[in-house]
A and B are shown apart, each in its own frame.
Chain A
Amino acid sequence: MPNILDILLSPFMIRAIIAVVLIAFVASTAGSFTVYRGLTFLVAGVAHAALAGAALAILLDMYGIIPGFPEVLGAAIFAVITALVAGYVGRKGESEKMEVAIGVSFALTMSIAILLISMIKEYAVRAWGLIIGDILLLTEKDLLLLTVTTLVVIFTTLLFYKEFVFVSFDMEGATAYGVHAELYHYVMLLLIALSVVVVLKGVGAILVYAMIVAPAAAANQFSKSTTSVMIWSFIIALFGGIIGLIVAALYVNVAPSAIAGLIVTASYFIALIVSRK
């Protein structure tokens, strides 16, 4: 067996560790507001929309319509459109209405994704790579994008923290007390959408849901304040990610994001059971 320390200090592993820390920040900021607003389904919807966007970007590149069209841009455009449509439907604060809109968008973007992927057969592996994701294959460019987005998400959340909490708690009341609730509503959804797009590359369309939703959902089970949810969801996401990487370093064939996904979802169920007592 190779020396774990050597593996953990290799460049691809260092990039993965940095990515895990950044993802943990996203999980604690964008993730906690996703849970407060009862919009966990938005993360799944946006992730699959992003997939369709990435497939479209690959298609445009492949057929030479827009050569070099970046996948991540295609993904971001589709993700943002989905978030804005859902946001428009639920602009008065009705999460139930948004769920329906997200569900329909989910079906639509998945249809588009499958259609596009079937048209780009030779390159479909690029699109499928986004479904599974691989934190060990992140390039420096991916990492830079993740860093910038994470900083934007953290900065915006800290700046509008109190407004985000108020709007999540009581949108109508927020407006009555002079908060531009609708504006913050859209800003929150945009942050969630952008977070999903950048985390997608690292953990894949399926597990992005686990990484963004589960840590905050677990922390929300036992926390008394929003600050506590932020701190604990960061810890849970970081713990899951690091353990995933260590396991992957020990056993080469194990996908680190899957281990991370298992740990953070398990933490939710444990928190659920413990807090019921």
Chain B
Amino acid sequence: MDSISIWVAKRLAEDEERQRVKGHTEEGFLIIETRSGYEFLVAGLGVKGVIQVEQVQPFFVGANKPQLVINVPSKTLWSGAAIDCIHYEQAAFGTMRDIARAGETHSAGSFRDRNMGFFINAMEQNRNVLSISYIYESIFQVERRRGGSLIVAVIDAYNMSAEDVRNTRTRFGHFDIVVKSSSYGSITEQAEAAAESMGAQALAFKGLMQCLAR
């Protein structure tokens, strides 16, 4: 096993309430068994910066294929191409904490971040939206029938602050719309001003849908 998988196995062994590491495959994937007896394979990455497709493709060439690919540290970005590759292989991607979440689904390969899944579905259902593709795990290129394409950044926040907007720009680069994932909470005036200063808009879900429809 590689050092990342060993580290992950050690961390999981500290708390076996929800799942345990049953062993590993010859490829070095961890065999995870949930409390209910469901088993799935997890591959571990230790990439800093941006995870590229070349770094995930090797996981899917052997006889055993992982249902979940995780990266440590969690701050690392997943490129759209890496995400597409993983999803094409009917697998999921995430962080350490997603091992338990994926296990709870009893279909780890179909595990998706709940917030992102909601936004993707909602955007896809908009009549003016032609297609949606990942740029990063929470940044999407949305092609519209009218009005051209937009880059939409979804942030995991109850209240969107100016720092959330600046941090999104720093981490992911340009976006046209930054939207908060929670339907509760507020967007501060300072967040709206920060987005405007970048030529973007800070919106809640309803505002995003209205914007996509234009």
Same complex:
no
Interface residues, chain B, CB within 8 Å of chain A? Answer: none
